[in-house]
Chain A
Amino acid sequence: MISNDGDRLDRILRRDARATIGDDGFTMRVMNALPLPSPARYAARRAWLKPVLVLGSTALGSALAWLFAPDGVNAAQGMVDLVASRGLTPAAITMLGMTITLLIAAIVIAVDTD
């Protein structure tokens, strides 16, 4: 910013500089020329997706297994049966299946280095 307001040439230059250029698609042109998001950054932004999918599908499978299990099967009974070494009761088998499924899902997520 030049301070000498009394100079006519200053005023001429400032007036000329104030003229604006309409966008006329220039911003869109620039946006189209920008590099695509880097794959690493894209993957990092969606890092949460895989655990959610694995654990979600496991939880859903467990819920369905529980829903369609024989009557009288419940988690508490299954735990009691397992603790009492009665591993072949329906409740114990259901509980064991859910535990193993969740364990496998956790291992898959833990060893996934992508």
Chain B
Amino acid sequence: MAPAAASTDAELILAILEHEDRKAFAELVTRHQSKVRTVLRRLTRGDIALADDLAQETFVLAWKNLARFRFEARFSTWIYRIAFNAWQSEARKKREVNLEVDDDALPAGSEAYDELPDIAARLDLERAMATLSDGERAAISACYYADLSHEEAAVALGLPLGTVKTHVLRAKAKLRARLVSRKG
């Protein structure tokens, strides 16, 4: 039985768990690939090849561990947690990932930047994102690109809620400053 495009994530997951339905899983991947790959591109500082490798690893791990999925949470929250773990594991192979709060001073904010009118501005944002610390980038990726609440982001990243909020505030302050300095 082919999975209907209108099926909910939960219905697709049940089909996978009961019948090992690969078509249902393909539908899940199609639905979530864009967001997962976007989040991972932000986390990997725009390394598209690495981000896609990690996204593939994320979905394969989701397939293997789907029986552990608890239906209280959204599937997207669960898959982002796997994606964040995959990114952290990969980053640890190269260097120590530091998700703790940095003590560097916050740059002064300003409102003198445009709102991404073109590709160049988007690249500016991508470059500005790349300058954030691991924790700040992870927090921004979770809260904006993965569309998670602060609480969900804290769970997905395995960080205290307060740390996530601090990361978001600091990241936004840095981004403001970077975008202003590029414009200026």
Chain A interface residues (CB < 8 Å from chain B)? 1-2, 7-17, 19-23, 26-27, 29-31, 33-35, 37, 41
Which residues of A sit under 8 angstroms from B91, Cβ to Cβ? none
Which residues of B sit under 8 angstroms from A1, Cβ to Cβ? 143, 147-149
CA distance A102 to B22 in the complex (A): 39
B100 to chain A, nearest CB (A): 22
- Give the A-B contact count at a CB cut-off of 8 A: 83
Residue in A15, A31, A33 whose beta carbon sits within 8 Å of that of B116 in the complex: A15
Contacts of B84-115 to chain A: CB distance below 8 A: 111, 113, 115
Does A26 contact B29, Cβ atoms closer than 8 Å? yes
Which residues of B sit under 8 angstroms from A35, Cβ to Cβ? 60, 63-64
Which residues of B sit under 8 angstroms from A9, Cβ to Cβ? 172, 175-176, 179
The SS class assigned to the B binding surface is helix
| 15 CB-based A-B contacts, threshold 8 Å | A1-B149, A2-B168, A8-B115, A11-B115, A12-B115, A12-B116, A13-B144, A14-B144, A19-B122, A21-B34, A26-B56, A30-B33, A31-B22, A31-B29, A33-B56
The SS class assigned to the A binding surface is helix
The answer to whether A26 and B175 touch (CB under 8 A), given A21-B34, A33-B60, A34-B60, is no
CA distance A8 to B125 in the complex (A): 13
Does B33 contact A21, Cβ atoms closer than 8 Å? yes
CA distance A34 to B28 in the complex (A): 14
Which residues of B sit under 8 angstroms from A12, Cβ to Cβ? 113, 115-116, 125, 179
Contacts of B115-133 to chain A: CB distance below 8 A: 115-116, 122, 125
Which residues of B sit under 8 angstroms from A7, Cβ to Cβ? 172
Q: Which residue of A lies closest to B58 (CB)?
A: A30
Looking at A21, A29, A31, A33, which has the most chain B CB atoms within 10 Å of its CB?
A: A21
